Each structure stands twice: as C-alpha cells, then as structure tokens.
Structure 1
Amino acid sequence: MKPIIELENLTFRYQKNDERPALEDVSLKVYPGEWIAIIGHNGSGKSTLAKTINGLLAPESGKVQVGEYQLTEEHLWSIRRMVGMVFQNPDNQFVGATVEDDVAFGLENQGIPREEMVIRVQEALKQVRMNEFATREPARLSGGQKQRVAIAGVVALRPDIIILDEATSMLDPEGRAEVIATIKKIKEENNLTVLSITHDIDEAANANRILVMRQGKLIDEGTPEKIFSAGPKLIELGLDLPFPERLKYSLQKRGIQVPEEYLTEEGMVEWLWTSGLNK
C-alpha cells in the first residue's frame, strides 16, 4: 500500500538565524485509513509538523508528499483539498451567523453548486449529531458542540485526511470524549486518515500508531502498547501516562507484580478482578 502522507528529511526554522530548528530531519510515512497520534511536550514540533503537511508552512528543506502530489506552489490547493484541519479553539474558525452557514462557508469557497451544498451541509451535521442545531448561533453552543460543528465544516469538504491540532485541549472531559467519539465514527464511515496532535494520552490511545516528538525530532514511534509501556521514560519527556499504566506503575513500586503488557481500562479491571488483589 502506498503512503497517503510521506515526509522525507523535513527541516523547518521559523527564523533563519534560529539555532535549533523547529523541525529537524523528520521522515515518516502515514498510510490510508490510519489514525496517527503525535505526542510531545510544548515546543516539540507537533503543530509545526502538521502545518507543513498542508502547506501552511513551507519547509526549509526536505520533501512533503500527500497522495500523488508533492508540496509545491503548483499543487498546494490540490493538497489542501485533501487535508482538513480542526484547530484548538473552534471560536477562531466560525464565520457564519448560524451553524449551517458556517458549515457551508468552505463549500462556497470551493464553488460547490447550491443544491449539492445543501445536501453536504445536512449530511455533515447529521454525522456529528448537530443537525437539530442547524439554525442556532455558534456562539451559544457548548465547547464540545462548537468543536463538533468545526468538524462538520471539515467533513462537508470531504477530505481524505483530517488533522486535529490539539482539537480537544480546551474541552472538559465530557466534551473531549464527545468529540473523540465523533471523530472515530466519521473515520469509520468515510475511511479517513486521521492525524491527532495531542497532549491527551487517552486520545492518543485511540491511535493505530503513536509518534513521539522531542525538540523538533521524531524520537520514537510504535503502537500505543509499545509507547505506553515505556512508563517512566514518557514521564521524563513531560508526558502523562494512561490511567491503567499509572496504576500499574504505582502497584509495581509497592512490590506487586503486574502484567508487562499494556492494558486498557477494561483490561486493567479484568486483571484486578482475577488477580486476587481485591480480596
């Protein structure tokens, strides 16, 4: 299978005289239908990496390939039609007076005929379970609802790839769970490729593969099981651990033998129930 995104030896500086690049010699491949989580502390290059993929930032050196297109001025808009981005603060993305106006905005910019636009707006709002709010003002929605509308605006454009740039970081736990459930549903229905730039380890746990960034470099990659099993090493990088791994680590420090493999919350409950620790 050909990668849908391929980066080769990507380097980027915000200022030419910056001593340390924001991205340094980054290479990676993403395949169609994958959910990739990119994690790392602030300043590690996560968001910079995302913005080079759809041409918001031009790399100093290296190659960006999205689908059949290499990132050049000639192919920039073809790539942007393939890649939709959902940002941290949905309020910064709203331009319409109503929810349906806002979802239609990107379609208008692409010159989609009105008949098709109406259908796409309705379908997108239905997919994020916001069709009943079509005539509401975006400003009057909850944080989770606003982010779902922002996602609908991207989904209506029918991209092949969705990039979530810290899209759940401003939400409370309920809103965060709501948005992640929405993305999972849309990904499955549309066979999308998802890149999730996040500090939220529980969000990263949904990924097929996790990339770990540090000081502009890609320092590790693997399944959630592989990455989370690093335990204390993740903490040293300024990252959190999923609750089951934190619990395992605490039990281990008390001399209790715990499973070596990564456990989900359900797996941890099952292990605790059968291990005899509850007696």
Structure 2
Amino acid sequence: MNPIIQLEHVSFNYQEDQTILALNDVSFTINKGEWIAIIGHNGSGKSTLAKTINGLIMPSEGEITVDGLSLNEENVWKIREKIGMVFQNPDNQFVGSTVEDDVAFGLENQGVPRSEMLVRVSEALEKVRMSDFKTKEPARLSGGQKQRVAIAGVVALSPDVIILDEATSMLDPEGRMEVISTIQKLKKEKELTVISITHDIDEAANANRVLVMKAGQLVQEGTPEEIFSAGEQLVEMGLDLPFPEKLKIELTKLGINLPAEYMSEEGMVEWLWTSSLRK
C-alpha cells in the first residue's frame, strides 16, 4: 500500500467554547489511487473533513499528512497544489468570461507560461469532453456541463487528489452520471486519488472504500458491500439505502428469495435476468 493521505486523531471546532466538536478524534489512511466515499447526514462533519484535508481550515488537534508533507503553515500551499476541490455549486467557482478563460485561471495564478497554459487548457477540456464549448459563457451551460468545466479547471492543475465536495448534489440523474463517468475516466488515465463527499448512496457505491461520519466521528469504514449490506442500520444513521437494497427489501416482502450479500445495480439486473431464465 502507498498512503497519500493520513489523518491521526484529528479534531476541529469552529468556536473555542463549543462543547460539540465538528470533528472528533478522526483517524484514517487513504492510499494512492483509491476512490474513497465519505457519507453521513447533514452536520456529520463530511465537508469540514474535506476542508481540513485541503488545508482550508487547520485542525484544532491531531496531524494530517499529504504525500509525506505535514499540514502546517509552511507546507499548506504545497499541499493545496496536490489537492483539487470541486464544490457543490460550479457557479461559485467560475471567474472567467469563457470556458477556456475559466480553466486557465488557476494556471495563471501559478505563473504557468502561456504556451504551456494553452496546451494544458486544451487537454483538460478534451478530457472532460468540453472542447466544443471553450468559447462559450459558463453561465449558458447545463448543470452537468458546468460541473465538467469545474473539473477541467482542477485537472489542468494536475493534482494528485481530487475532492468532490457534494459535487453532484445539484444535478439531475443524467448530469450526475455524466460527472461520475468523467471522474472515473480521469482517475484511470491519471491514476488520481478521489475523495467523494456525498449524500448520494448510489454514487458512493462506485468507491473502493466508504467512510461513514456521524456527529463529527468516523463510525464505520469498509467496502461498499460491507457498508450497504447493513441495511436498516444506515437508515438509523439518517442515510438512504442504495436502490438495489431498496429493491431487495420490496422483493423480499413479495416472498422472493434473494442473495443476502450486497449487489450493485448491475449485479441486481444480472441476478433478476438469470433468475427469470431459470423459471
């Protein structure tokens, strides 16, 4: 294993006199190339966790290490170069009058030479399939297209880690699928590490591992199969169930015997298909 992010006993409170911590003694390791989903209800600490990893806020206690660098005032800018963030509302990230200007903005801030900048902007837009829109105004794009441009702006900076902070929550199902498939492709091409902060259980099912947050604490960790097979326990934590698990519950009520293990949507379709052929 090759750790790229390590948290050791990290705590954070927004006000010194707060008795309930936003993060409370959180420890975990993320390995290079993993896709990690962090789930939990509102107020569970998910977004606070993302901001501490990126150095947008400093932990009150504990230590964070990113690619061998300790998160501190001396290293924070080096760490931010390694981690790109895509937020919930892409409109809040747009600063350029055109798509290509917007993607170039971060590179300009880093002082990248213009000749290199043009190449990186073009390559980033091509990777997210937005080259045809480079002269368009970002405001005139669909939700899914806007988010792909936001991703292109991050990709152009060549980070090692991308954090999706509720990046698909404002999109319709088609736009959500569009963004996730884009990230999956980029992850494979560039060996990215992806951290997905999400309410969307179906999105979390794409991850290698799922971390469950509750009241600022890490309460559960495992593969999607291990986490989602908990069924009703997820509901008790204020989380939804993945569609295949909901379907299993309803089919069981109808007297249909299904495998006990967790199945993805593809696995459920295959099981239903093969079971119907057996009849």
TM superposition score normalised by structure 2: 0.97
In the TM superposition, what is the alpha-carbon distance from 1:182 to its structure 2 partner?
0.4
SS at match of 1:207: coil
The equivalent residue for 1:175 is 175
What percentage of aligned pairs have identical amino acids? 71
1:194-229, Cα deviation, whole Å (9 max, x unpaired): 000000111101100000000000000111111110
Write out per-residue CA displacement over residues 221-256 of structure 1, whole angstroms, 9 at most, x where no aligned residue. Answer: 111111110011111111111111111122223443
How big is the shift at 1:278?
9.3
Give the aligned partner of residue 107 of structure 2.
Answer: 107
The answer on whether the counterparts of 1:87 and 1:167 sit within 8 Å (CA) in structure 2 is yes
Q: In the alignment, what sits opposite 1:68?
A: 68
SS in 2 for 1:4: strand
Amino acid paired to 1:10: V
Partner of 1:193: 193
Per the alignment, residue 223 of structure 1 pairs with: 223
> Shift of the alpha carbon at 1:2?
3.1
Aligned to 2:208: 208
Which residue is equivalent to 2:236?
Answer: 236
**Is residue 2:26 matched to residue 1:26?**
yes
SS at match of 2:266: helix
Aligned partners of 1:19, 1:257: CA distance in 2, in Å?
48
Question: Which position in structure 2 is the counterpart of 1:43?
Answer: 43
Residue 8 of structure 1 contacts residue 63 of structure 1 at CA under 8 Å; is this kept in 2? yes
Partner of 1:138: 138
Query: For 1:210, what is the secondary structure of its paired residue?
Result: strand
| Residue deviations 1:95-116 (CA, integer Å, cap 9, x gap) | 0000000000000000000000
The equivalent of 1:54 in structure 2 is 54
Q: Distance in 2 between matches of 1:46 and 1:173?
A: 22
Of 240-249 and 84-93, more deviation after overlay is shown by 240-249
Which moves more between the two structures, 150-159 or 248-257? 248-257
Within 5 Å, give how 1:247-258 maps onto structure 2.
247-258=247-258
Q: Secondary structure at the residue paired with 2:3?
A: coil
- 2:120 paired residue number: 120
- 1:270, 1:165 → 2: CA distance? 32
**Who is 1:11 aligned against?**
11
Q: What is the RMSD of the two structures over their aligned residues, measured on CA atoms?
A: 1.2
* Runs of 5+ unmatched residues, structure 2: none
Letter matched to residue 47 of structure 2:
S
2:2 corresponds in structure 1 to 2
Which of structure 1's runs of 4+ aligned residues deviate more than 4 A? 276-279
User: Residue by residue, what CA displacement relative to the aligned partner does 1:95-139 show, whole Å, maximum 9, x if unpaired?
Assistant: 000000000000000000000000000000000000110000000
- Kindly provide the amino acid, as one letter, of the partner of residue 179 in structure 1: V
Aligned-partner Cα distance in 2 for 1:273–1:90: 39
**2:268 aligned partner, one-letter code:** M
Which residue identity lines up with residue 9 of structure 1 in the other structure? H
2:98 is matched with which residue? 98
Is the 8 Å Cα contact of residues 37 and 198 (structure 1) preserved in structure 2?
Answer: yes
Q: Kindly state the Cα deviation for residue 71 of structure 1 after the two structures are TM-superposed.
A: 0.4
